[in-house]
């Protein structure tokens, strides 16, 4: 491993350290290594079943002749309204995007509100209007819901849970286990905007070019790929933990390694500048409107052409590929993600460790 | 109306007063009239669709040849662990019961946790173990989930959201709109235990006979009815707002009136005593393991025999019936619930007004 810079603690990749905390810490919710520990060592073993073990954003279910996907997320973002979006929009797009990542057409959402006593009605209605507009845009119906109110000091204005059901209209199983050696890895947009927009707002920072969240529906990007016959093997939106964390997770779940080119990954100048100021690595900053897709190399150009035709994915670019069998790197361990840097060195990516951006979604 | 005692404010039943609060109040989450206002005047109009308008606990959906039900609830109960149950058990049973009330066999649950920083790991694992045991008992798989952690002071230990999907294996549409004039109204168990157990724990009260929550899965009760050909028209579990509030809601949704016999409604001695002490009306106290079913009068005895054969519904009894067309009471307004009291008077039931038991589920 002499040519690989490993700038994180040297934990085994497939075997995170044992869970030893006696209390849940904020870092357990950040989407990085501690989140993985909590999930894999505390939560998943208790609910053990094949669907959870798949490690996908959505469960893949079958009812009669219908193949559906089912997913959920709770949203606890602070602040509730931020540059480029709000918790309501995020709660719709986030769950819609999770269904899309399983190759499902989003159809129905639930909406469950946990409101803190004293939330201004105007804030609530602004957020509900935003949810309704986002649902309309994504062609989903909010068909069931729940509302709870908690006493002052026991919430933070509003938490929203959405669960979603989508229909897998297209053949094949789009999942981490379907990734193939040699697949091209496509990224749909520049990284780092959502996390940086939230952090800048929290810290009261102003940039010459204002940074807005990339919070968006991935419906046009995903449907153009699937409707035009691209044999997408896997997709994942680069949310909590950022691009690096989700690629490491996919590498581990598929048992395959990946090689990325650092110079190919789009990061806007303003994000680079903001991240330097705040000491953040853009590869670990959360996004809410970009995803990676693993596609057969033979369909790469077709996929890029289709994606670039949609506003949300017009920056689409290949950022690397899944290593082929027998390539030297694979002998150094399965499920690794290597980043070839601009200066020619190779950096081994890890999941995010510790707290980067709490309450980012 | 001279023979009807109306002991609540005289709001129009089908037309609650306009929503005028500029902040959300704790009472908006109690399951009574203020909850209805928030839902009907603020939330539902924004998400308008036929499924929401049905006012059912679950949305009734169709995928290909499969008829499914979809529901969600967030649980914010305080305390997390209470006599007879805990938030985890409640989150599984509650969502399972909502699916059952739509005549669906529960199949899959999601589980989304909002954990407050500092929650003891032991509390979390106790609750997760309880969820897992409840899921196993109910024959449902927890197939997808999410975990968020919020900073200290912005939660209350743990909030849980579960969403659920069930399959409507049996013919017919079990929903408020299917209630028929003349239907017998069956109640499956004595009322008031859950709410009283929570209140007693909060207030530090001790009774000679300890009161435990009735928190339970209704799976055996509902499946015995449906598998044995009882033509159930509607079911509803008597949760937030208690038996009175859910019957008023069903009367309004169906446009039919109901007459109940107060002496027929089972309330245990210890619940009566506890409610007197705390100034509560057992008809408005939340339950977590009892439900009402509207069944054709011709099948009443068969339904009671089946229900009494299951532990969870062994106290089942007819508590009243849906008024037939042309009966005098109907001329006084549709969608009313009249309670014939022990002393021979008639009391018009309303939804619960104001705060009775906040954070009860």
Query: Are B274 and B357 a contacting pair, CB within 8 Å?
Result: no
Q: Could you list the residue range(s) of the whole structural domain that residue A93 is in?
A: 57-167
Does B65 contact A65 at a Cβ distance shorter than 8 Å?
Answer: yes
Please report, for the domain that includes residue B106, its CATH number. 3.30.1330.10
**B187 and B108 share one domain:** no
Residues pairing with A74 in the sheet: A161
| Domain end marker among A129, A144, A167 | A167
Angle of helix B300-308 relative to helix B219-227, nearest 10 degrees, comes to: 140
Residues B274-313 as b or e (16 or more Cβ within 10 Å = b): bbeeeebebbbbbbbbbbbbbbbeebbeebbebbbebebb
Q: Tens of pLDDT along A224-279?
A: 999 999 999 999 999 999 999 999 999 999 999 999 999 999 999 999 999 998 88
Question: What is the helix (H) or strand (E) element at residue A220, kind and residue range?
Answer: helix A219-227
> Which CA distances in Å does A343 have to A259, A276, A339, A347?
15, 19, 11, 11
For position A219, which CATH number holds?
3.90.650.10
Shared domain for B252 and B306, answered yes or no, is yes
Q: How far apart are the first and last CA of chain B?
A: 36
**Chain B partners within 8 Å of A165 (Cβ):** 61, 70, 165
Looking at the structure, tell me whether residues A270 and A304 fall in a common domain: yes
Tell me if A22 and B120 make a contact (CB, 8 A cut-off).
Answer: yes
**Do B192 and B139 share a structural domain?**
no
Is A278 part of any domain?
Answer: yes
Q: How far apart are CA B361 and CA B358, in angstroms?
A: 8
Distance CA A193, CA A215 (A): 9
- CB pair distance less than 8 Å for B115 and A24: yes
Domain match, B144 and B91 both: yes
At A196-220, the pLDDT tens digits run: 999 999 888 888 888 999 999 999 9
Nearest chain A residue to B115 by CA distance is A24
Angstroms from B249 CA to nearest CA on chain A? 16
List average pLDDT for each run of 10 residues in chain B, which is 361 residues long: 38 51 88 88 91 88 95 96 97 98 98 97 97 98 96 94 97 95 98 94 86 97 98 97 95 95 96 92 96 98 98 98 76 81 91 76 92
Which of A39, A46, A88 to probe by mutation at the B interface, max B CB count within 10 Å?
A46
Domain count, chain A: 2
A306: CB partners within 8 A, 6+ apart: A224, A225, A228, A230
pLDDT of residue B52: 86
Residues from chain A contacting residue B63 (CB–CB below 8 Å) = 63-64, 66, 68, 167
Has residue A357 got a pLDDT over 80? no
Are A108 and B70 a contacting pair at CB < 8 A? yes
Are B284 and B242 in contact by the 8 Å Cβ rule? The answer is yes
Degrees to nearest 5, angle at CA B261 with B260 and B263: 145
* Residues of chain B found within 8 Å of residue A102, distances taken between Cβ atoms: none
Read off the pLDDT band of A18 (50, 70, 90). Answer: low
- How many Cβ pairs within 8 Å bridge chains A and B? 265
Indicate the residue among B167, B193, B226 that finishes a domain. B167
3-state secondary structure of A172: coil
- Asked if A147 and B43 come within 8 Å (Cβ–Cβ), the reply is yes
Looking at the fold, whether B163 and B181 belong to one and the same domain comes out as: no
Residue A10 lies in a domain: no
Instruction: Please check whether residues A160 and A121 belong to one and the same domain.
Output: yes
What distance in Å separates residue B266's CA from the closest CA in chain A?
A: 28
pLDDT above 60 for A167: yes
Residues A290-312 pLDDT 10s: 999 999 999 999 999 999 999 99
E strands in chain B = 4-5, 59-63, 66-75, 81-82, 85-86, 105-116, 141-150, 158-167, 184-187, 234-237, 258-261, 291-295, 317-322, 337-340, 346-349
Interface confidence, given as ipTM, is 0.93
**Which candidate from B35, B51, B63 shows the least CB-CB separation from A141?**
B51
DSSP codes of every residue in B266-325 = ---HHHHHHHHHHT--GGGS--SS-EEEEE-GGGHHHHHHHHHTSGGGTT-EEEEEEPPT
Would you call A112 and B74 a contact, using CB atoms and an 8 Å cutoff? yes
Q: How far is the C-alpha of A135 from the C-alpha of A217, rounded, in Å?
A: 10
Number of Cα atoms under 13 Å in the Cβ half of residue A146: 29
Indicate the residue among B167, B182, B204 that finishes a domain: B167
Q: How far apart are CA A99 and CA B236, in angstroms?
A: 31
Asked if the Cβ–Cβ distance from A64 to B61 is below 8 Å, we say: no
Cβ–Cβ below 8 Å for A68 and B65: no
């Amino acid at each position: 491993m002499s040519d690989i810079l490993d700038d994180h603690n040297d934990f085994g990749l497939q075997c995170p350290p044992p869970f030893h905390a006696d209390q849940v810490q904020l870092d357990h919710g950040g989407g990085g290594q501690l989140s993985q520990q909590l999930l894999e060592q505390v939560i998943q073993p208790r609910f053990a079943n094949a669907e959870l073990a798949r490690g996908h954003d959505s469960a893949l279910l079958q009812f009669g002749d219908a193949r559906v996907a089912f997913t959920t997320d709770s949203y606890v973002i602070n602040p509730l309204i931020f540059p480029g979006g709000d918790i309501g929009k995020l709660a719709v797009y986030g769950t819609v995007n999770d269904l899309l990542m399983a190759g499902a057409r989003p159809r129905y959402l639930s909406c469950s509100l946990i409101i803190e006593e004293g939330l201004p009605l105007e804030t609530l209605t602004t957020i509900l209007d935003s949810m309704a507009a986002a649902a309309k845009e994504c062609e989903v119906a909010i068909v069931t819901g729940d509302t709870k109110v908690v006493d002052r000091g026991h919430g933070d204005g509003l938490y929203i849970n959405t669960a979603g059901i989508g229909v897998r209209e297209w053949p094949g199983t789009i999942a981490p286990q379907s990734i193939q050696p040699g697949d091209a890895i496509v990224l749909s947009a520049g990284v780092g905007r959502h996390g940086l927009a939230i952090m800048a707002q929290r810290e009261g920072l102003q940039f010459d070019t204002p940074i807005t969240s990339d919070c968006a529906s991935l419906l046009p990007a995903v449907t153009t790929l699937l409707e035009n016959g691209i044999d997408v093997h896997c997709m994942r939106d680069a949310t909590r933990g950022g691009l690096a964390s989700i690629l490491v997770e996919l590498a581990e779940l598929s048992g395959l390694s990946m090689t990325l080119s650092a110079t190919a990954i789009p990061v806007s100048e303003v994000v680079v500048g903001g991240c330097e100021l705040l000491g953040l690595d853009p590869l670990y900053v959360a996004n809410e409107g970009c995803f990676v897709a693993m596609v057969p190399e033979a369909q790469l150009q077709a996929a890029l052409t289709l994606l670039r035709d949609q506003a949300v994915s017009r920056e689409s670019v290949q950022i690397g590929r899944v290593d082929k069998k027998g390539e030297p790197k694979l002998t150094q361990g399965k499920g690794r993600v290597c980043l070839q840097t601009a200066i020619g060195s190779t950096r081994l990516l890890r999941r995010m460790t510790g707290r980067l951006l709490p309450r980012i979604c």
